[in-house]
Amino acid sequence: MINRAVLTGRLTRDPEVRYTQSGAAVATFTLAVDRQFTNQSGEREADFINCVIWRKSAENFANFTHKGSLVGIEGRVQTRNYENQQGQRVYVTEVVVENFALLESRSQTEQRSTNGGGNNGGFNNNAPQSGSANPFGGNNGGATNNAPAANNNNQSNQPADPFADNGESIDISDDDLPF
């Protein structure tokens, strides 16, 4: 039997870190994952997935991510239940994160937070990967990409990058796709 979840999305709020009685760190967060299609009015909807991460990974994740951070996670889907204060049985389904990757540079995260923390309307798929070639190959412990920023002051005759994020969203219908 297989129970694997691999998601790429943006955090809806800062991760919330708590500690168990035995001292183990546990962080909870919600990941907004855009759907691949648009609804009848042409708008792209998102799913909001509850996630939990444990121990040192939880501390690293909370230290290096903030609301709006683009992250990739790998884990398993888990359903648990408990009895609330009113005596009702409550069921919770969440992804237990085993590996994560930071999918944008620290400068991009800081730039977004200084601009009011808003989402740019979609995922920045050309963001640099952190640390390893395979973003889901293992927990990178919150490593960041320390490469120097590209020099945008270059006034050469080079054409503009057609895949650069210029703030405009790309609208592609299902009819435009070759498959």
Q: What pLDDT is attached to residue 107? A: 76
Residue pair 4/74 in contact by the 8 Å Cβ criterion? yes
Q: What pLDDT is attached to residue 148? A: 40
Kind and range of the H or E run holding 127: none
The CA distances from residue 120 to 22, 28, 66, 108, 115, in Å, are 41, 24, 15, 11, 10
Q: How far apart are CA 66 and CA 42, in angstroms?
A: 29
Q: How far apart are CA 162 and CA 156, in angstroms?
A: 16
Domain boundaries, the chain: 5-132
Options 2.40.50.140, 1.10.10.1200, 3.30.43.10, 1.10.8.50; CATH for 5-132 is 2.40.50.140
Q: How far apart are CA 133 and CA 1, in angstroms?
A: 28
Q: What pLDDT is attached to residue 50? A: 94
Q: What pLDDT is attached to residue 40? A: 87
Q: Which two tokens stand for residue 27?
A: 């962080």
Q: What pLDDT is attached to residue 157? A: 56
pLDDT in tens, the chain (179 residues): 999 999 999 999 999 999 999 999 999 999 999 998 888 888 889 999 999 999 999 999 999 899 989 999 999 999 999 999 999 999 999 999 999 999 988 777 777 767 665 444 443 333 334 443 444 444 444 444 434 444 444 444 556 665 566 666 666 666 666 65
Q: DSSP per residue over 60-85, as a string?
A: HHHHH--TT-EEEEEEEEEEEEEE-T
Taking the model in full, what pTM does it have? 0.60
Q: How far apart are CA 164 and CA 69, in angstroms?
A: 18
